[in-house]
Amino acid sequence: MNESELVLGGILEFLQNINPSIDSILITDDALSLRMEQNRSDLNNLINWLLYNQKSNVKILILTRHIRKDKEWENLSYRYPNLQIKNYEYIRITPVLFQEALEHLYDTKPQLKQHSRLHDDKSNQKSIDRKGSFLDRFKPKLKAPTELQATDTLTRELDKISRGISRIVAITGHSGCGITSTTINVASEASKRGLNVIIVDMDIEYRSTNMYFSSFHERTKRDEDINASLIRTLARPQDCLTTAFHLKENLWLAGLGYSFSDPKLIEQFYTSSKLVGLLSLLRNKFNLILLDLPLNLLDRFREALIHIDSFGLCIPNNLYAVLSTLRNVEETLNKENTAYLNAKSKVIVTKYNDRSRFQGEIFVPDKVSAIATSGLLESFTYGMKVAGHVSYDTDFDTQIETDVPLVYSNKDHERAYGNILLRLLEGSS
């Protein structure tokens, strides 16, 4: 194990200084320079060194998206038959490719097999099989008895929370982190459980609730009032039950249709003071008022922040997401409001990847919260509870354009959003 990364340009120095006994060398794109002539000359030097030191049995495998086998590279393989270049077309090297590369390098036969498995159909098949078995690990959890029990606990706990409550929750985060999907699933789960719920889609840049509720979207196309429902609801909060779109029994939605564009009306009604007025009125009519409110809007609506009971801060469990969330907060809010958001937030770990790691350990939800408040951002150091996590799901977008949020079609997600709902409601007086 090297302390620092080993790039192709540094390999000769490394070999000369350490003089390790080498079996094989695997070179990936990370080790290459941006200049192809440089790479070729570095590789040439490496080959010379190996030949000169009678180490021509050392296999070299280059796993790359960049190097195409042209004449010049082929010359090198000709001089050094144990050099193999393999191209792949994924964004990153997949685990299967790595494994096959290692299998190839461990293979004690000095020459390559004629047909490497790196590219044939079997490798595809294998990756499909693996995906299956990876998912299988979750199957025991899906067994009916456990599931029933979990749902029952949830029901009991939710029942403990008085039906008389009224809670204003903003789902926020860096755009793209899963804000809208969280909003509509938590709202749907709450309505399923008998709460009166309204979704207020404040994200007029994307208006993504249209994507999740096609009944709303279809209606906006032929009904100007519904097309403007967010503006009309902000303008006349007392009429919210008619200005908002009635999705189903106890679930309403105020948002904009894609074709609504009236800068004057937006300027007049899409304001902090109108939102404050709306929220105070909605409190009397709904148990749960859920705002789709990405971080970059918090500044525009800063005067309304104190009227929001809690924030569900969506952050995926990777370092990039944590950092861009903090940067987004820093760019949007002053210190005071940053501290306020921090104190009022619970973390929702979205797109949760159970293989994501941080400093050698699995990047668990609590870790996401711990790192976010570790002092990377001044005024954001107050410990945040985790409301729950939503697993990354390749079938996630099946809920789009269907009017059927995942909580209706997928038991795992139903439970996940149910727990998040519970945590977001907790602490309400």
Ligand X SMILES: Nc1ncnc2c1ncn2[C@@H]1O[C@H](COP(=O)(O)OP(=O)(O)O)[C@@H](O)[C@H]1O
Interface residues toward ligand X, by CB under 6 A: 175-181, 208, 350-351, 390, 392-393, 396-397
Is position 399 an interface residue for Mg ion (rule: CB under 5 A)? no
Question: Which of ligand X, Mg ion, none sits in contact with 178, Cβ below 5 to 8 A by type?
Answer: ligand X
Give the residue with the Cβ less far from Mg ion, 64 or 210: 210
Residue nearest to ligand X (CB): 181
The whole-angstrom separation of Cα 148 and Cα 231 is: 42
The whole-angstrom separation of Cα 201 and Cα 254 is: 6
- Strand bridging mode 167-173 / 310-314: parallel
Shortest distance, position 298 Cβ to ligand X, whole Å: 14
Tokens in use for 372? Answer: 């976010």
Question: Which of Mg ion, ligand X, none sits in contact with 188, Cβ below 5 to 8 A by type?
Answer: none
The whole-angstrom separation of Cα 104 and Cα 113 is: 9
Shortest distance, position 80 Cβ to Mg ion, whole Å: 53
The whole-angstrom separation of Cα 329 and Cα 352 is: 21
Residues touching Mg ion: how many (CB under 5 A)? 4
Shortest distance, position 316 Cβ to ligand X, whole Å: 8
Q: Which burial class, exposed, middle or buried, applies to 295 when counting CB atoms under 10 A from its CB (0-12, 13-18, 19+)?
A: buried
Question: Which of Mg ion, ligand X, none sits in contact with 396, Cβ below 5 to 8 A by type?
Answer: ligand X
Q: Which burial class, exposed, middle or buried, applies to 180 when counting CB atoms under 10 A from its CB (0-12, 13-18, 19+)?
A: buried
Q: Which helix (H) or strand (E) holds 277?
A: helix 272-282
List, in sequence order, every beta strand (DSSP E) within 345-407: 345-352, 357-358, 361-362, 386-391
Is position 332 an interface residue for Mg ion (rule: CB under 5 A)? no
Shortest distance, position 386 Cβ to ligand X, whole Å: 15
Letters for 203-242 (x = contact with Mg ion by CB under 5 A, - = none) are ---x-x----------------------------------
Shortest distance, position 204 Cβ to ligand X, whole Å: 13
The whole-angstrom separation of Cα 324 and Cα 319 is: 9
Give the residue with the Cβ less far from ligand X, 166 or 214: 214
Q: Binding Mg ion by CB under 5 A: which of 39, 82, 180, 233? A: 180
Decide: helix, strand or coil at residue 212.
Answer: helix
The residue range among 77-85, 176-184, 238-246, 334-342 that interacts with Mg ion, by the rule CB under 5 A, is: 176-184
Q: Is the CB of residue 209 less than 8 Å from the CB of residue 182?
A: no
Shortest distance, position 329 Cβ to Mg ion, whole Å: 17
Is position 64 an interface residue for Mg ion (rule: CB under 5 A)? no
Torsion of CA 40, 42, 43, 44, to 10 degrees: 80
Residues at the contact surface with Mg ion, assessed by CB under 5 A: 179-180, 206, 208
